[in-house]
Amino acid sequence: MIRLDAERSVSFCDGMRRRDFLHAGALSLLGLGLTDHFRLKAAGAIDRGREKNCIFLMLVGGPSQLDLWDMKPNAPSEIRGPYKPIRTNVPGIEISEIFPRMARQADKYALLRSCYHTAAAVHDTGHQMMQTGRLFQGGIEHPSVGCVLSKLRGPRGDAPPHVLLPRPIGATGGNMPHGHSAGFLGKQYDPFILNSDPSQPNFRVPDMLPPDYITAARTDRRRRLREMVDGSVAELESAFKASQDARLLDDNFNQAYTLMSSAKMREAFDLTKEDEKTRDRYGRNRFGMSCLLARRMIERGVRYVTINMFETVFNEITWDIHGSAPFSPIACYRDLVGPMFDNGYSSLLEDLHDRGLLEDTLVVATGEFGRTPKINPAGGRDHWPQCWTMLMAGGGVRGGQVIGSSDEIGAYPKDRPVAPGEVAATICHSLGIEPETELPGVQGRPIRVVEHGINPIHELF
């Protein structure tokens, strides 16, 4: 609990004396190192204006197109799989029976049934391409769209511009970067990473507030003392200036102080502020609670939220239904993963819609690839980047439509193939980022946000 009044006056090492005030926000007003952008915006309330947000749901593991959103009920049984299609509230659109709640609001999202990529069929490449629009080559790591947004727009008030929930993707077999970070833009544009499981009963962001024996005045004194120590050896300062990690450390401290001093952001992470019914509606699991957190983030000014539905594909029930250990069986879609997604995703769309936020918030849900049309001998499906289905809602996207289609067995796009670059271009378009915007790349050479010749999927809007 933060205390709201002073006990005594304290002095600072610069000799000034100040009242020992403890109201929330004091630290940020005192604290230096905030960006000019923030200074300008901090004066008033959050001015959301017409700026758009994005929630990007990375469905780690690679959901099957055939069992979920692009069913082929007339195909042979080894293709069509165990599930049946059901009707949605949009005539002509059918999805899998494992998504009853999604079926009731198909008017809110568009299905893109002709996604594909051409890189190696390992998880990591798809993660890279879906989050950044590009495959990493020639030693260049591209930034995720969320990090591009951080770079171009900065924070909105004291909310970090880009938050990643709940944790970064770990090992998925390829030993490659997964594309959630800022890459060549520099680590200062990396997302704020929660690194904690919001479905735990006593979930909180660790260490958001000082222990009760450290007053805000002491916190502030410590901060000033630390800055003095850091700045006192010139030769070291120049060594640290040349170190990306040292610069990042300074940014991290500034960001930490901003979070601490913002009652609004502390509250954003406090899921106990949501009633039990709401939490049940989202599903009391990591993904459901991450979706709920994402809504709370967007409500408080975060621009971009990345949610990783799973952290790995090994020894965990995920979309990665190879059928044999250490991966998942196809039945897990009905028993666990499907309901988890249905509840989290549907609740998120409902709430954003009810709060009037959906129009300003693009919600993207995609895996890193699809799955083999033919069921394998272990009763599962293997990696298949040649064709899959993704979902887009809000942010100007017209719901209730289907973009593209696949062939009769869901193996290849039949019309309007959608490549990862187009997806990234579409997110940029919705966020109002001009595709020809140039970012400072390696050795200062400009790199376009969206590669020349790649266009957003205009028919979505």
State which of positions 105-124 bind another protein (CB under 8 A): 118-121
- Which residues, in sequence order, are bridge partners of residue 405? 415
Cβ distance to another protein smaller for residue 12 or 461: 12
Q: Which listed range, 61-69, 210-218, 265-273, 327-335, lies at the site for another protein (CB under 8 A)? A: 210-218
User: E strands along 128-225, which residues?
Assistant: 162-165, 192-193
Helix 420-431 vs helix 123-132: crossing angle, to nearest 10: 30
**Radius of gyration (C-alpha) of the chain in whole angstroms:** 23
Q: Which of residues 317-356 bind another protein (CB under 8 A)?
A: none
Q: What is the C-alpha to C-alpha distance for residues 454 and 199, in angstroms, rounded to an integer?
A: 39
**Largest pairwise CA distance in the chain:** 81
Q: What is the C-alpha to C-alpha distance for residues 410 and 365, in angstroms, rounded to an integer?
A: 19
Per DSSP bridges, beta strands 53-58 and 361-366 are: parallel
Site membership for another protein, residue 200 (CB under 8 A): no
Cβ distance to another protein smaller for residue 260 or 298: 260
In whole angstroms, the minimum distance from the beta carbon of 360 to another protein comes to: 26
Q: What is the C-alpha to C-alpha distance for residues 364 and 185, in angstroms, rounded to an integer?
A: 23
Q: Which of residues 12-51 bind another protein (CB under 8 A)?
A: 12-13, 15
Cβ distance to another protein smaller for residue 63 or 413: 413
Q: Which of residues 155-184 bind another protein (CB under 8 A)?
A: 171, 173-175
In whole angstroms, the minimum distance from the beta carbon of 247 to another protein comes to: 9
For residues 118 and 126, the answer to whether their CB atoms sit within 8 Å is no
Q: Which of residues 219-278 bind another protein (CB under 8 A)?
A: 219, 221-222, 225-226, 228-230, 232-233, 235-236, 238-240, 242-243, 245-246, 248-250, 252-253, 255-257, 259-260
Cβ distance to another protein smaller for residue 184 or 461: 184
Cβ distance to another protein smaller for residue 87 or 218: 218
**DSSP character string of 357-421:** -GGGEEEEEE-S-EE-SSPPTTSS--EETT-EEEEEESTT--SSEEE-EE-TTSSSEEES-B-HH
Among 442, 451, 455, 459, binds another protein (CB under 8 A): 442
In whole angstroms, the minimum distance from the beta carbon of 336 to another protein comes to: 22
Q: Which of residues 389-418 bind another protein (CB under 8 A)?
A: 411-412
Cβ distance to another protein smaller for residue 221 or 398: 221
